[in-house]
Every structure is written in structure tokens, then in C-alpha cells.
Copies of this chain bind each other. A is one copy, B any other.
Amino acid sequence: MTEENHNEENEKLHIQLQRVITLLNKYKLLQGFVNLQNQVSESLAESSIQKKNLGELQSLLNKLHPADIADLLESLPLEDRLLIWGMVKPEYDGEVLLEASDAVRETLITDMGAHELVAATEQLDADEIADLAPDLPQDVMEDVFRSLPIAEREQLRAAMSYSEDSVGALMDFDVITVRDDVRLEVVLRYLRRLEELPDHTDQLFVVDREEHLKGVLLINRILVSDPDLLVADVMTKEMITLHPDDKAEDAAHAFERYDLVSASIIDHDKKLLGRVTVNVVIDFIRDKAENEALHLAGLREEEDLFAPVLKSVKNRWVWLAINLVTAFIASRVIGLFEDSIEKLVALAALMPIIAGIGGNSGNQTITMIVRALALGQISSGSAWKLISKEIGVSAVNGLIWGAVVGLFTFAIYQNAELGVVMMLAMLLNLLLAALLGVLIPLTLRKLGRDPALGSSVMITAVTDSGGFFIFLSLATLFLL
């Protein structure tokens, strides 16, 4: 997929993973052989074959981008992971730690000494150190702090003060500022004195003496404009600015909507604090989407693929416990109707159909509504429109699928009344699912909670217990 003209990195990560594993296994095999007969002098471990294996592995690793190394480490079981981690170039350590997932980063940091950790942060900018900070031991952070120049210390302190889901957490400090009363020619000469521009520099920030942001000077405008013009004539005053306390999600929407590469961050006095760049926004969008998928399945956080069993159990138990409670409730609802089931045992076989389809239909509605809420598409006036649409969909589905299950029931049990009860219960449970599929997320939102979390469990609980209750009470009323 990607092709780097000069080296062999046009192979996919998966192929690289297989190669690393092959080399690693060769290495371990020989090492094991050596250990077995360790009466032989240790020098055999350092034998030429072994050196060659190691050399091959090392040179493969040296060619990889830190992001690829992080991915590779995530794909390896703990023991192999630490072996490879020891072989990574020390100057990559910081970058790799940044790129690794939280769970895997933890395993890597545990394996490193305080000295190594401080060295790893030395390659990083203040905003990057702030990202690692929560995972670093207290004493390491103190050392890191002391080793920084004063200006960066201030930046680190600022970066660490913002909450994880705020724009401040996405901020970096790599801004180039210019004044508006100079000619472009001067700006060009100034830039030429820099050895390189920070990544993702698509604009310079125009500020006054007190660092108040007055506009932005787009790099591409500099290139096409007459060098004799003043910055003030070429700069853009209409620009997107963010505040560090804005939600990171809002920044992501702005980047998406207005096709930004970078955006300035200012405080309430319009003083320039830093910027956000698109690469950080992409990572944020991916992480957010992934976290949502994980939460939906009841994984509290991203899990190391090779985490120890007990760690995984801890990551997953809350969800199972909640579902157990809702299952107990559903079970007690059924318990209320044990007499009916005893008289007509077919009810026991049929009731999961009603509950199951209700849950599926309810989750379809929830997914629609949660997405629309996230996009700010639901106005106070449209809630009733949505409810009536969903009720309509459920009514149609209830009649169609109700008829299907009714006929199925009749075919199996030769009992027409039972078929009618099935059909009616299906219709009613789908209507219940539609109504609550709209109301649950809207209510969570109104209470200030995230409708994406919990809506799905709640609707399933309602359609399970509700479905059993509707079906069994209809059956008790009309059949017994």
C-alpha cells in the first residue's frame, strides 16, 4: 500500500509482523538450545549465527517508523514484546510510547528504569510529555520536570492542566508568530533563517506585542503574493479559533467541517496559547470511534490483546454485572407467570422470540437517535416527529413480523389463538421499543449524561422484561 522509494518498507505491517516473529523464534530457539546445554561456555550464545539473527531483527526494526513499532509491540505477547522493546533504538523510545495504546504503554513503562524513562522523554515536546505523564511514575516526572528549560516547564504545566477531552489536551506549542506591519519579504527571510518549520505549518499567526491574535498568514498566500506587500494586506482575519476548554469533539467537528490543517488556540483575552493540528485530530477521531465500539460491547477501556486473564476480567466485569441484574429482573417477570407456563408449556419456548426481536428493533432506533444527537440534529420541536416516525416503523414491522411469528406458531402448535397472541405481543413490544428507543437517549441527554453510554443496555432490559410481561400476560388473559 505505501511505498517508500528508498527502502523495502512497501511491505504491509502484517508481513513485517510475521517476519519479526520468525526471526524472534529463530533467536529464541537457539537461545533455548544454548541454555539447555549451559555447561558449554556462554560465548556460544554470542555465536555468529545468533549474532546474525539479532542483527537482521535489529536492522528490520531500525527501518520501521515509531508508529509501526508501536503496532508491532501491540501485536506481540508480553514476553516477546519486551524482548523486541529492548532492541528498539533508544531515540525512538519516546515516540513509540506515545503511539502505543494505554494498556500496552503500561507494560512497556513497567519494563523501563527511571533513567531510561527520563531519557525517552528528552526527544519529546512538552505537549507530548503531558500525554505520557499520567502513566509515568511520580519520581520520573519530577526528574523530567527539572531537566526542562523554564519555558517548556511552563508549557508542560499548562498542557497537564487541561482535562483529557478538552481542546487543551490536543494543543501543541509549535507556533510561528509574525507582526502585521512587516513586508512578506521580511517574513520570507525570517523563515529562511529557521532550519525547518514545525510539522503541519500551513499558517503563521499574526500577533501584536502582547501576543493577541490578530489574524493568520496562510503559507500558500505567502507563496502567491507579491513580497513587497505587508502582512496586514495578505493575512486572513476570518479564521477558526479554539479555546483550550472547548470540547475536543467540537474541535474535531470544526476540522472536519472546515477542512483545516491547523487552528489557533487562544485564551479569553484573545492571547495566542498554541495550536491544534490535523494529525492529532485524526488520532482523536479514531480513538473516540474505537472507544465507543468498546464501550458498546462493555469493555471499559482498550485492552492489551495479551493482557493477563485477571486484568481482562477486571476490564469486563461491570458490564456483565449490570446485565446480570437486568437478566435477574427479566427472570422474576417470568417467575410471575409460572402457573401459566405450567399449563401451556409452549409459552416458554415462544417468549424469547418476542423479547429478542423487540431488543433488536429498539437498538436500531437508539442507534439512529444517538447519532442524530451527537450531530446536534434534534431540535426541541422534532422529538415528537421522531417518535411518531419510529412508532410508524414499528407498527409496520409489528404487523409484518407479527404475522410471520403468528403463522410459525400456528404451524408448530396448531393453536390459532396462541398465534394471535404471539402476533399481538410482537406488535406491542415493538411499539414499546420504538417509544423508549427515542425517549431513553433524549432523557439521558436532558439529564446531562452521554446518551451513547447505557442507552443500549436500558432498551434491552426494557424489551426483555417488557416483552416477557406483555406476552405472558396476554397469554394468561386470553388462553387460560
Contacts and interface: CB of A to CB of B under 8 A. Distances in A.
Q: How many copies of this chain does one complex carry? A: 2
A346 B352 contact: no
A89 interface: no
A130 to B, nearest CB: 18
B309 A328 contact: no
A56 interface: no
Interface string A344-370: 011111111101110011011011100
Interface of A: 1-7, 12-14, 17-18, 21, 65, 67-68, 71, 74-75, 77, 188, 191-192, 194-197, 199-202, 215, 219-226, 237-243, 246-247, 250-251, 253-261, 278-279, 281-283, 285-286, 289-290, 292-294, 296-299, 303, 305-307, 309-310, 312-313, 316-317, 319-321, 323-324, 326-328, 330-332, 334-335, 338, 341-342, 345-353, 355-357, 360-361, 363-364, 366-368, 371-372, 375-382, 385-386, 389, 392-393, 396-397, 400-401, 404-405, 408, 412, 464, 468
B341 A348 contact: yes
B298 A296 contact: no
Contact of A371 (B261, B290, B347, B382): B290
Contact of A65 (B258, B341, B392): B258
A298 B364 contact: yes
Contacts of A292: 289, 293
7 contacts: A5-B215, A5-B238, A18-B379, A77-B382, A299-B367, A334-B352, A338-B348
A381 B2 CA distance: 25
Given A195-B224, A350-B331, A381 B3 contact: no
A323 B257 contact: no
Contact of A257 (B67, B77, B290): B67
A233 to B, nearest CB: 15
B313 A334 contact: no
B3 A368 contact: no
A429 B475 CA distance: 30
Contacts of A2: 240-242, 250, 254, 258
Given A241-B3, A341-B348, A67 B258 contact: yes
Contacts of A253: 1
Given A14-B376, A191-B223, A303-B368, 6 more contacts: A1-B254, A7-B238, A14-B379, A67-B256, A192-B224, A352-B464
A434 to B, nearest CB: 11
